[in-house]
Amino acid sequence: MPVYYGLNVKLHPQVYEPAEDTFLLAENLAVKEGDVALDVGTGTGLIALLMARKAKFVLGVDLNPIAVELAKDNARLNGIQNVEFRLSDLFENVSGKFDVITFNAPYLPGEPEEPIDLALVGGKTGREVLDRFIREVPDYLKRGGVVQIVQSSITGVEETIKRLKKVGLTAKVVAKRHVFFEDITLINGKKEE
């Protein structure tokens, strides 16, 4: 069983395995002591579990029911209790406001066919899921809260920054990693206090 950042993580062939994009986010988490955090598209639950080390409470959501069960298993495996995982299409089953919201966005153009595809395929242009997330995220951010989006340069980083500003958040690229034919980028959007 692989260990990431001191956590034992069970994997499943139909759930996105932590990779460069996950690690970029993991190494730049904005979560602070006592925060309430939300991890959208939680997958194995790794990011949610890492945030739980500092956060008061973390909610992890995913559209893939296999991922939700896997994340619950990974929380139990590591004895982490201040975290909850549930099935949700983005914010569908989420209520309340959060200090930090993380999202490793799917970005490949196309329609998902297998559960694993939900982590990778973001709709016809590759931006549909991300754009819907950006439209809805301000309603779930506390004042002074931060949204962290990991995305590929393939789907237009400038476009994401523009859209975050349009919904009233300040936005900037805070970290970047070049992998194969693309840049994996981490964008932080902040809701003014």
Task: With a cut of 70, list the residues of the chain below it in pLDDT.
Answer: none
Residue 188's pLDDT is 96
Phi, psi of 187 (to 5 degrees): -110, 130
DSSP secondary structure of the chain: --EETTEE----TTSPPP-HHHHHHHTT----TT-EEEEES-TTSHHHHHHTTT-SEEEEEES-HHHHHHHHHHHHHTT--SEEEEE-STTTT--S-EEEEEEE---BSB---SGGGGGTB-BTTS-HHHHHHHHHGGGGEEEEEEEEEEEEGGG-HHHHHHHHHHTTEEEEEEEEEEETTEEEEEEEEEE--
Residue 109 confidence (pLDDT): 80
Distance of CA 110 to the CA centre of its chain: 20
pLDDT in tens, 104-134: 988 778 888 888 888 888 888 889 999 999 9
What is the per-residue pLDDT for 154?
A: 82
Domains, in order of start, for the chain:
3-191 (3.40.50.150)
Residue 43, pLDDT score: 96
* CA–CA gap between residue 40 and residue 122 (Å, rounded): 14
According to the model, what pLDDT value does residue 186 have? Answer: 95
Predicted confidence at residue 148, as pLDDT, reads 98
Give Cβ neighbours of residue 83 (< 8 Å, ≥ 6 apart).
Answer: 45, 48, 49, 52, 57, 58, 59, 60, 75
